[in-house]
Amino acid sequence: MVLRAMHREKRSVILPEKAGDARGTLGSTPMKTPRRDRWIGRLAWANAIAMGLVVLLGATVTATGSGFGCGESWPLCHGRFLPPLTMEGIIEYSHRVTTLASGLLLVVLLVLVAIERRQVFARWEARIVAGLLVGTLLLQSALGAAAVLAPRHPLVMAVHFGVSLTVFASALVLALVLTRGEALRRRRASGAPQTVTRGAWALLVGTYAVVYLGAYVRHSNASLACLDWPLCQGQLIPELSGATGIVFLHRLSALILTLGLLVLVVRLSSDSELRRRRGDLVSSGMLALGLLLVQSATGAWVVFSRMSLMSILGHAAVVTMLFGVLAILAVQSLPVRGDGRQVAPVVLSEQLQTSRS
């Protein structure tokens, strides 16, 4: 009778700890309220939106020639806290303020997660994404300062745009982990073929290369080296020198990227078992393919409109969303690794065995 009573007592102590493990430390603190989780989720998505807005405002700065709207002063504007009442000054200053606000929002988000849901950082993917987000945001700010304080070299400006996309994609993946982390993990636990994982990550890296080439084309003032589309100067393969060669290389790499993504989507869609188990991969792949086709259309719009402001912003907005979706697809394809979260079941098993003895 005594052993039976001890057995019931230990179960009553351990099982709540196991249930509480999803939101806090093992049994030592009360379960966090759903309201706090909702606020963390809202902050995470607001942070992702803010990072996307930073990318679009940066594209606006480039498209309107407002890079020196605050002179050669950083982080102030012409040495003052408030910008001059000129269009260029307001646009450049708005970009800086939005970057600062998004950085502060990220700090608040990470502090709240560390306090309320610190077990999230026990997983390697969350640590990597959070670290990448903080690191690339600091690098983005440093490159922005270098663009103002030093000569605006096309290579530096192209890297600046590429890093900005990485910041947005990291914020988007972090929001997904914080709000849909368990569902994402269950999906990943069902597995994905290695060819799909390798293909997804290759496409993500390839997209970054295509984006870098596009940003270099823009900042080297070569966007209209080919005045028609999809041909260049009425030729399938133009003279591969100077600005024309750079634009042709950008278009060719975009075509290769499109074909590669099409192959991946066909691979995902043609496997009925994979479609049943990993519908998330199929959905993300098809969304990415659709965005890539829209991206090509906005590229043609840039050419035919002779670089109108709306076409440039549309081109930047679509490629930002495309890179974010591809980042999610790459994370979805990753396998699940053990992270030592089977502590509660092990403790329960050991204590039950002790009670029987």
| Segment 92-101, tens digit of pLDDT | 888 888 888 9
State residue 63's pLDDT score: 84
State residue 231's pLDDT score: 86
Q: Is the pLDDT of residue 351 over 80?
A: no
Mean pLDDT of the residues in the chain:
80
State residue 252's pLDDT score: 92
Q: Is the pLDDT of residue 149 over 80?
A: no
SS3 state at 80: strand
Contact 18, 348 (CB under 8 A): yes
SS3 state at 232: strand
Clarify whether 92 is annotated catalytic: yes
pTM of the complete model: 0.79
Structure letter (DSSP) for residue 73: -
State residue 150's pLDDT score: 62
Question: CA-to-CA distance for 148 and 280, rounded, in angstroms?
Answer: 42
At 267-308, the pLDDT tens digits run 999 988 888 889 999 999 999 999 999 999 999 999 999 989
State residue 234's pLDDT score: 82
Catalytic, out of 9, 88, 92, 125: 92
Q: Is the pLDDT of residue 253 over 90?
A: yes
Q: What is the mean pLDDT of residues 76-92?
A: 79
Question: CA-to-CA distance for 176 and 324, rounded, in angstroms?
Answer: 11
Q: What is the mean pLDDT of residues 226-253?
A: 87
Q: Is the pLDDT of residue 80 over 50?
A: yes
Scanning the structure block, which residue is given the tokens 């870098």?
A: 212
Q: Is the pLDDT of residue 316 over 80?
A: yes
Q: What is the mean pLDDT of residues 180-187?
A: 87
State residue 338's pLDDT score: 57
